[in-house]
């Protein structure tokens, strides 16, 4: 239950939504405080160019590192999906070399396995349905061995 709640709170879309609301609100707050502060001390020299530049630089670095990590995860996940698809295709081609009753059985089991894996990729990782699909696919995998 707690894992599901935390995965929902810390999902990338929720973090984006929170940051999309919080960062502009904090920026507006800071701007208003700065305007009010500058009215009080108008006789002092104001250097407002370096602070926004530093904040934007840090924001750019944060976005750059975030996207770099996301691209790495995406590439690794894509590579794993391609490897699994290649393994399934190889198994299907090798199953055609078996005698007919076993070949049909392996082909049917592979069809069920592919359907389960596609559905599992569409579910969230911490859902109960994902766990059930994972167990079912492991069971089919053992039956194929």
**Residue 25, both tokens:** 């609100």
Q: Does 79 lie in the same domain as 28?
A: no
Q: Please indicate, yes or no, if residue 41 is contained in any of the structural domains.
A: no
Q: What is the pTM of this model?
A: 0.51
Note the pLDDT of residue 40.
Answer: 66
Structural domain including 23 reads 1-33
Residue predicted with more confidence, 4 or 102? 102
Q: Please indicate, yes or no, if residue 63 is contained in any of the structural domains.
A: no
Q: Please indicate, yes or no, if residue 24 is contained in any of the structural domains.
A: yes
**Residue 43, both tokens:** 């006789």
Do residues 98 and 106 make contact, with C-beta atoms less than 8 angstroms apart?
Answer: yes
Q: Does 144 lie in the same domain as 73?
A: yes
Q: Does 86 lie in the same domain as 29?
A: no
Q: What percent of the chain has pLDDT over 90?
A: 10
Number of independent structural domains in the chain: 2
Note the pLDDT of residue 59.
Answer: 92
pLDDT digits (tens, 9 = 90+) for 19-70: 888 888 988 998 888 888 777 665 555 555 677 888 889 999 999 998 888 8
């Amino acid at each position: 239950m707690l894992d599901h709640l935390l995965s929902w709170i810390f999902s990338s879309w929720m973090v984006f939504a929170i940051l999309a609301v919080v960062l502009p609100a904090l920026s507006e707050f800071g701007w208003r405080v700065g305007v009010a502060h500058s009215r009080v001390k108008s006789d002092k020299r104001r250097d407002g160019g370096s602070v926004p530049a530093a904040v934007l630089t840090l924001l750019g670095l944060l976005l750059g590192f975030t996207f770099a990590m996301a691209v790495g995860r995406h590439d690794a996940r894509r590579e794993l999906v391609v490897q699994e698809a290649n393994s399934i295709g190889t198994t299907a081609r090798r199953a055609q070399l078996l005698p007919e009753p076993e070949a049909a059985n392996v082909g049917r089991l592979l069809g069920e396995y592919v359907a389960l894996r596609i559905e599992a990729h569409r579910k969230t990782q911490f859902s109960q349905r994902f766990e059930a699909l994972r167990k079912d696919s492991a069971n089919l995998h053992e039956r194929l061995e």
